[in-house]
Structure 1
Amino acid sequence: MTERTPTPMDLLDFPGAAELIAAGGVEPPSAEAVDGAWAAVARAAREEERATMPATPPTQLTSRRVRRPRRLLVAAAAVAAIATGAVAYPVLDMGGEPAATASASEFFEGMAEVAEDAPATTPAYWKVRVETDNQDDGKRTDTNYFDREGRVWSVDADGTVHEPPAGEEGKVKKWPVGKKWLTWPQLEKLPTDEKTLAAHFPKDPNTRFDQVTIMLEDSPAGPELRAALFRILADTPGMKLVGDVRDSKGRAGVAVEITQKSWVRLGGGGGGGSEVTLHTRDRYVIAPDTGLLLETTHKTLGKNTTTPADRYTWLEVGPAERVE
């Protein structure tokens, strides 16, 4: 027997469908309404997931979360909520700091589940190929490999491999975590519970955000560690979900943004000069099927600012068995 193709009325077979049809054309919903509707979808899906999980004793549950298909009814309810504008959305309280939108938090929680499902690997090398475009360096592509000791190999566009220099002159790849810079083996010793892991990062949300995203960009963090990093971002204030975009290479992804404020003192050494406030907007494009970062851009905002955004496009980040 072949499956029947659902008709439009099949898809609208949910409570409130008649009211939705009768409403006809309505004004486009606000961004807040859309954010809230997607948050409602995620919350309803989680409640459904809990209701359908087998009654397994706690001692037999694994740390891996069970992922199940979302029913059409959940999505349909969200459509109805958006169409009528009748949706209330939660805001995360971060002790007075600007809160992350509910939809951004839900997105990062989803990316944590994707990260958990990725296979664990124990490669000999980690490969990073990134295209950089900024005012200082112009546009260039760098290909680097590093081993578990942190030694770095670079590969030219023509395939020429540059061995890491011996002794103290050799570069060592590390990542900032709090006040420390950790090597690949040290990353593997970090806790994977998000609350315990968060304690290793700075309390300042901006600095914590910067360090977490640096690790997500190009570190060899394992699936459970990446999942914990995404969950830390879910609790980071100021994040906003932009939605579906394409990066500079045309790859489809989901963008999130954060606008941060910093201060720079110009002129007058020894504490003199004037203090200038800068606002920067950082955008991160993430592949929703893998949780890998595709592209990051950093833009200084202001009426008198014409500086183009710094762009880092992550062309390849992952395990490798040899340098080539």
Structure 2
Amino acid sequence: MTTDDITDDFTDLLDFPGGAELVAAGRVDPPSAGAVDAARAAVTRAADREAAVAPAALLRTRRLPRRRRLLVAAAAVAAIATGAVAYPVLDMGGEPAATASASQFLDGVAEVAADAPATEPAYWKVRVETDNQDDGKRTDTTYFDREGRVWSVDADGTVHEPPAGKEGKVKKWPVGEKWLTWPALEKLPTDEKALAALFSADPESRSQQVAILLEDAPVGPELRAALFRILADTPGMKLIGDVRDSKGRAGVAVEITRKAWYSTGPGEKVTHRTKDRYVVDPRTGLLLETKHRIVGQETPPDRYTWLEVGPADRVG
């Protein structure tokens, strides 16, 4: 092998957006363990998938661009954690572009989410710590079943049964103009384009509803992956980088600024800009924490720290 061959191989390996900047950055601190795990998992899955596809079929189905996207996303998960690479922006078809680093990271997380085991639980458990101006700081533990009935559990373990009949609260999640129950969520398409069409055309409103589903909804691996891909294609989504949530758990934060409003009285409301920050565990594809901060105000952000979200065999 000649020196030119080595140089060509090195150039090919770095043939992705930001590769030249990565070289120019020189030596940087290593990425976090979570970022490395996500990158390794994404590279392995991409290689396994493409190894199972014959070259002719690969060309016929035009999956090569997707493979390249996966490999670039995996490389980005490892590289962007250092903060050394300034990635270019993605073309969003005339809309304001999302930063490519955020898009690539979220695409990588989508691949992690897609490989999670599927379950068919009887109940879904959510334990969340909330800290906001209206309610103060508290921790709530709830369970709900496929009919949407909600159980709450006190800190001492006391279980509160859902009220009977119409008085009982039914758990639902927003998708576009509709509020869907657990069974209805299971009927949603897992193709990201078909799924995105069910939400608002406004990318800010769409991202907010998608994030609500990712926070605590009982969505399967394929649907969860599609939701992350919708966020990856959202204009204005920015990568913040490695952070720790309020419980000290390591994650990677992404952020978007959107229009919002709050009521000041009957028929009255004030519009403002809000920064929504989402802390994601790149090893699992779970949201660790959500913060909403009003731009230009000194008040602390509303915080939701997701302590436990997942299947349960029983209540309590």
Category of TM-score, reference length = shorter chain: 0.7 to 0.9
Indicate how the Cα distance of structure 1 residues 143 and 51 shifts in structure 2: closer, same or farther if over 3 A, else same. Answer: closer
2:88 aligned partner: 89
Kept in 2, the 8 Å contact 1:247–1:295? The answer is yes
1:252-263 superposed matches below 5 A? 252-262=250-260
Seen in structure 2, the aligned counterparts of structure 1 residues 88 and 309 have a Cα distance that, compared at 3 Å, is: closer
Q: In 2 relative to 1, CA 266–27 (structure 1 residues): closer, same or farther, beyond 3 Å?
A: farther
How far apart are residue 51 of structure 1 and its match?
11
Q: Deviations over 1:251-279 (max 9, x none)?
A: 00000001113466878x888xxx86522
Quick check: 2:288–2:307 contact (8 Å CA) kept in 1? Answer: yes
Q: Which residue of 1 aligns with 2:3?
A: none
**Where does residue 194 of structure 1 map in the other structure?**
192
Name the CA distance, whole Å, in 2 between partners of 1:95 and 1:24: 30
- Matched residue type, 2:288: L
TM-aligned CA deviation for residue 50 of structure 1 = 9.4
Q: Which residue in the other structure is 2:290 paired with?
A: 296
Inter-partner Cα distance in structure 1 for 2:158 and 2:237: 41
Tell whether 2:313 aligns with 1:321: yes
Distance 1:263 1:91 in 2: 29
Report the secondary structure of 1:196's partner residue: helix
TM-score for both structures, normalised by structure 2: 0.75
Q: CA deviation at 1:91?
A: 2.5
1:312 aligns with 2:311: no
In structure 2, the residue matched to 1:3 is none
Quote how far apart the aligned CAs of 1:92 are. Answer: 2.7
Name the counterpart of 2:225: 227
Contact 1:92 1:102 survives alignment (8 Å): no
Shift of 1:100: 1.1
Alpha-carbon separation, structure 2, partners of 1:239 and 1:207: 13
CA distance in 1, matches of 2:117, 2:27: 45
Q: Return the letter of the residue paired with 1:89.
A: P
Q: RMSD across aligned C-alpha pairs, in angstroms?
A: 3.9
Please show how residues 94-243 of structure 1 align to structure 2 within 5 Å: 94-96=93-95, 98-243=96-241
Q: Letter of the aligned partner of 2:206 in structure 1?
A: R
Aligned-pair distance for 1:204? 1.1
> Residues 58, 319 of structure 1: CA spacing in aligned structure 2 closer, same or farther, 3 A cutoff?
farther
SS of residue paired to 1:127:
strand
Pick aligned residue for 1:282 from 276, 285, 296: 276
Q: Classify the secondary structure of the residue corresponding to 1:186.
A: helix
Query: Is residue 260–residue 280 contact of structure 1 (8 Å, CA) maintained in 2?
Result: yes
The range that moved more, 152-161 or 204-213, is 204-213
When you count helix as a share of all residues, which structure comes out higher?
2
Asked if the contact 1:108/1:234 (under 8 Å) is kept, the reply is yes
Deviating runs (4+, > 6 A) in structure 1? 23-28, 264-267
**1:5 aligned partner:** none
- Equivalents in 1 of 2:188, 2:104: separation in Å? 24
* Identity %, equivalent residues: 67
**Distance in 2 of aligned mates of 1:165 and 1:108:** 40
Distance in 2 (CA, whole Å) between partners of 1:116 and 1:259 is 27
1:88–1:265 CA distance, 2 compared to 1 (3 A): closer
Partners of 1:261 and 1:278 within 8 A in 2: yes
Instruction: Note the C-alpha offset of 1:58.
Output: 4.7
Report the secondary structure of 2:243's partner residue.
strand
Q: Could you list the runs of 5+ residues in structure 2 that have no partner in the other structure?
A: 1-8, 12-19, 29-38
Could you tell me whether the CA contact under 8 Å between 2:112 and 2:283 is conserved in 1? yes
| Partner Cα distance (1:226, 1:270) in 2 | 36
TM-score, normalisation: structure 1: 0.73
Residue-pair matches, total = 274
- Conserved in 2, the CA contact under 8 Å of 1:92 and 1:101? no
Q: Structure 1 residues 124, 54: closer, same or farther in 2, change over 3 A? A: closer
Deviation at 1:145, TM superposition (A): 0.1
The verdict on how the C-alpha distance between 1:94 and 1:144 changes in structure 2, with shifts beyond 3 A counting, is farther
The gaps in structure 1 that reach 5 residues or longer are 1-13, 29-40
One-letter amino acid of the counterpart of residue 288, structure 1: P
Contact 1:220/1:318 (<8 A) preserved: yes
Give the drift of 1:54: 4.0
Letter in 2 for 1:221: V
SS at match of 2:288: strand
Is the contact made by 2:87 and 2:99 (CA closer than 8 Å) also made in structure 1?
no
Deviation (angstroms), 1:206: 1.2
Structure number, greater radius of gyration: 1
Q: 1:70 to 1:201 in 2, by over 3 A?
A: closer
